Chain A
């Protein structure tokens, strides 16, 4: 657990808003990128990540320190994203495929053919990810895009650590299947 985060939370509970600002600065980018991968468009991701910080601030006194702040905060963010998708299903369908805006263009070292191939694969993965159910997408984003440990994923998804490996595996199999279907 990040003891620095815990100290900041304690200070914040004593009325030092500046401490919360430090936490926001620390996690804002990963929060935004997580929401972006989840809801698929920049405006909603920006709003949802801010909203998650607001929810966290208001609930800070209820934070018991059993898990890291990061896990606790991402559990809030994750639920907000799921709720947002439920209420904006139609909008998501329109917005989520805009991969060029979301995924950074990284020039391939081995030349334009590889670069093009890389782009196609990224688009396939992105599109396939969008078709998965919320739980499968959540666990893949937490592992592949946030590089969280199984322990952190378990805390966020409120499942036993032992279940993370199998859930992740089945989510990856579904992703692979979707990629194969889309690639035909």
Chain B
């Protein structure tokens, strides 16, 4: 075993993740190599120090309200969803009525009606495209975009 191989296995030894054969080979190497031994001792000291580190716990009242906080946020999420859905339905109805009366109004020049029509069509295509992209990302892996 050379030092480069030993260095990687040192972490496995610290964490108790080596199989007996690897452990035996590494121990042999550590007995012969002072540099690797020193590296092992230093990393062991860091590991022991972190083992002694304990996070300060939160006050009991914070833990008592923990689940309620989650439940309330979930409930509010559902409320927002229904609210948004209702708003979209009403808005769509209003817009439809408005457009219907606009396009049926013969006093408005055809060119204006045509311009508004293409503008709306373009906006709908853009919206559908964005929604479809969002749905695709959601269906696959939501957190894929996070760089590691």
Contacts and interface: CB of A to CB of B under 8 A. Distances in A.
Interface of A: 17, 21, 24-25, 28-29, 32-33, 36-37, 42, 46, 50, 53-54, 57-59, 75-76, 79, 82-83, 101-104, 106, 118, 121-122, 125-126, 134-135, 143-145, 149-150, 157-158, 165-166, 168-169, 172, 175-176, 179
A28 B66 contact: yes
A103 B56 contact: yes
B123 to A, nearest CB: 29
Nearest to A33: B55
B-side binding surface: helix, strand, loop or mixed? helix
Interface in B67-103: 67, 69-71, 73-74, 77
Contact of A83 (B57, B63, B146, B148): B146
Nearest to A47: B69
B1 interface: no
A32 B142 CA distance: 22
Interface bracket on B: 35 or more
Interface string B40-61: 0011001101111111111000
Contacts of A157: 148
Q: From A28, A46, A165, A179, name the one whose CB has the most chain B CB atoms within 10 angstroms.
A: A165
Given A125-B49, A176-B46, A169 B8 contact: yes
